[in-house]
Amino acid sequence: MVWVRSEYAGALAVVSTWIAALVPWNVTYSTGVSGGAVLFVRFPFFQIRYAYGVPAARGVSVSDPLSATAFQAGQTIQAAYQVWAAGALVLALAVVLSLLYYRAEERVESGPFDPVRLLGGLLTLTGVLFAASTYLLVTRGFPGLPLPIGVLLLFVFGGLLLTVDRT
């Protein structure tokens, strides 16, 4: 069964990478004992935290993976944030490659590697890292229900790109 025609594989690789960079990989809603709640929307390159009903932590804050990791220093969930930062780095490499591929398709395709499969591998690796980060958040005591929306998309995109017929 062919999901994507060979001539469209490059466009799919580029668009999939860009979508992966824009979709949140994790959304977590957490309620506290004080009656307040916090909503975390984690995109690959930043996190939005919206706290309400918690007097000391009201409002919206935005942080990147490195500053969020630094904020969690010494906490049990620091490893989850470190894995998130690693996943963001891998996805950043994929985005750079996709931009090069978009701008100079023939040149990139004539290189020593198949850019479609490489992007598929990078997206799959990003999915593995974000899934591991979600697992670490859950198992290290981060309260709330995580929804790994983008993780599923990363695995779908990566799988499609890795299995596309390039003949």
pLDDT tens digits for range 34-89: 678 888 999 999 999 888 876 666 688 899 999 999 988 988 889 999 999 999 99
Whole-model pTM: value is 0.90
Span 23-48, pLDDT tens digits: 999 999 888 756 788 889 999 999 99
What is the reported pLDDT for 37?
Answer: 84
Residue 22 pLDDT more than 60?
Answer: yes
Q: What is the mean pLDDT of residues 147-155?
A: 95
Q: In angstroms, rounded to a whole number, what is the distance separating the alpha carbons of residues 138 and 145?
A: 8
* Mean per-residue pLDDT of the chain: 90
Cβ–Cβ contacts within 10 Å for residue 164, how many? 21
3-class secondary structure per residue, the chain? CCCCCHHHHHHHHHHHHHHHHHCCCEEEEEECCCCCEEEEEECCCCEEEEEECCHHHCEEEEECHHHHHHHCCCCCCHHHHHHHHHHHHHHHHHHHHHHHHHHCHHHHHCCCCCHHHHHHHHHHHHHHHHHHHHHHHHHCCCCCEEECHHHHHHHHHHHHHHHCCCC
Percent of the chain with pLDDT strictly greater than 90 = 65
